[in-house]
Amino acid sequence: MSRAGRKWGGVAALAAFAVLALAGCDNDQQSVLDPVSHPARDIESLWWWMLAGAVVIFLGAVGLLGLSWLRRDRGGLPVFGDNEGVARGFVVVFGILIPIVALVALFTIGNIFVLPVTQAPAAGSTSLTVEVVGHQWWWEVRYPGTKAVTANEIHIPVSTRVLLVGRSADVIHSFWAPNLNRKIDVMPGRENRILLYSDRVGRFRGQCAEFCGLQHAHMGLYVYVEPKDEFDAWLRRMSTPAAAPSGSQAQRGRDLFASMPCAGCHTIRGTSAAGKLGPDLTHVASRETLAALTIPNDRGYLAAWIDDPQHFKPGNRMPALHFEGSELEDLVAYLEGLE
């Protein structure tokens, strides 16, 4: 390739990167810079002020460095000349005074203004509680007072203060839905709480933010913020037992599920399957993704996931089982009916 060709190739690659990076700014994407609540907005403005301060200090330092390089053959300071007192003054102002002022200001604003806004809501001050349990590597979601149990997808009503109680079933994870609030650690033997609130309807991505093992990066979640009546209908549906299989293929699938090791790890409410290790599958077909946002939840991916779970998410707890004849299709037909 010619030199000009390489240059334009580089420009095209940069442009493509910029387009991809900007595509990440979609409404439903995980972003600190697209806040939907008071705490998230305070975190965002703190971030912008920190960036602005850092830019000023960085440009100042680089400017002084450039100036000293330009004047490398001359002695003394510009304007002030060879003055020991002024030189010492610069060191005191830029090396001691400005860092102290900047750090004290950051500490004060962060701790006195922003941190209290992001604190957990007072006990009894919210009308809805969501329990989130971190597992390697997925999120269990419960709605106390109802039978609803789901995984990796949290639904909340819009403009409603929701208390999120975070726990862990194994190691330390961190729950983080940055459009809504700051992160909280979820730890074994401890409960941490945070406010979940959004004044905008939408789907917001969240992520485990504490390294928790091989598939830490594939421990994503969605927060769905819905109009109140839509949320109520969803919660009612999630609280019901699983739908009965329709058709003989799905019936064979249900019997297989009960007789194979599946039922030892997964619960399907309304059936004999009551395992506690994996996600509750009572309404698995209503979920948008499988394996904590790793793959879409459709017939093809569902079959591929059951056939070889280690292919998509190596190290996860789900073993590959051996299927014969139409067994896999039967199982998928049953699970696909669990709306």
User: At its nearest, how many Å lie between ligand CUA and the CB of residue 130?
Assistant: 17
Q: Does 242 bind ligand CUA (CB under 6 A)?
A: no
User: At its nearest, how many Å lie between ligand CUA and the CB of residue 208?
Assistant: 3
| Residue of 129, 156, 153, 122 lying closest to 140 (CA atoms) | 153
| Residue of 206, 205, 224 lying closest to 157 (CA atoms) | 224
Q: Which of 212, 221, 263, 281 binds ligand CUA (CB under 6 A)?
A: 212
Closest to ligand CUA by CB, 183 or 252: 183
Please provide the DSSP assignment of 232-249 as one string. HHHHHHHHSPPPPP-SHH
Handedness of CA 99, 105, 109, 111 (dihedral sign): positive
Q: Which of 142, 155, 167, 173 binds ligand CUA (CB under 6 A)?
A: 173
User: At its nearest, how many Å lie between ligand CUA and the CB of residue 294?
Assistant: 13
Q: Does 211 bind ligand CUA (CB under 6 A)?
A: yes
| Residue of 198, 39, 204 lying closest to 120 (CA atoms) | 39
Scanning residues 131 to 170, which ones bind ligand CUA (CB under 6 A)? 134, 137
Dist. CA 170–CA 285, nearest whole Å: 27
Scanning residues 213 to 232, which ones bind ligand CUA (CB under 6 A)? 216, 219
Q: Does 193 bind ligand CUA (CB under 6 A)?
A: no
Closest to ligand CUA by CB, 177 or 212: 212
Pairing, β 153-157 against β 220-226:
parallel
| Residue of 126, 287, 145 lying closest to 196 (CA atoms) | 126
Dist. CA 266–CA 328, nearest whole Å: 17
Dist. CA 137–CA 186, nearest whole Å: 13
Scanning residues 244 to 283, which ones bind ligand CUA (CB under 6 A)? none
User: At its nearest, how many Å lie between ligand CUA and the CB of residue 238?
Assistant: 23
Closest to ligand CUA by CB, 126 or 294: 294
Closest to ligand CUA by CB, 36 or 141: 141
Pairing, β 128-135 against β 289-290:
unpaired
Handedness of CA 300, 305, 311, 314 (dihedral sign): positive
Closest to ligand CUA by CB, 35 or 134: 134
User: At its nearest, how many Å lie between ligand CUA and the CB of residue 46?
Assistant: 24
For the chain, the helix, strand and coil percentages under 3-state DSSP, each to the nearest 5? 45, 20, 40
User: At its nearest, how many Å lie between ligand CUA and the CB of residue 217?
Assistant: 8
User: At its nearest, how many Å lie between ligand CUA and the CB of residue 228?
Assistant: 31
Q: Among the candidate windows 146-154, 211-219, 266-274, 287-295, which touches ligand CUA by CB under 6 A?
A: 211-219
Scanning residues 78 to 137, which ones bind ligand CUA (CB under 6 A)? 134, 137
Q: And the tokens for 140? A: 């269990």
* Total residues in contact with ligand CUA, by rule CB under 6 A: 9
Q: Where are the beta strands (DSSP E) in the chain?
A: 128-135, 138-142, 149-151, 153-157, 162-168, 173-176, 184-186, 192-196, 202-208, 220-226, 289-290, 295-296
Q: Which of 42, 140, 153, 210 binds ligand CUA (CB under 6 A)?
A: 210
Conformational region of residue 315, where left means phi above 0, alpha means psi within -120 to 50, and beta covers everything else: left
Closest to ligand CUA by CB, 175 or 231: 175
Q: Among the candidate windows 84-92, 187-195, 212-220, 329-337, which touches ligand CUA by CB under 6 A?
A: 212-220
Q: Is the peptide bond before 234 cis (omega within 30 degrees of 0)?
A: no
Q: Among the candidate windows 198-206, 208-216, 271-279, 317-325, which touches ligand CUA by CB under 6 A?
A: 208-216
Binding site for ligand CUA (CB under 6 A): 134, 137, 173, 208, 210-212, 216, 219
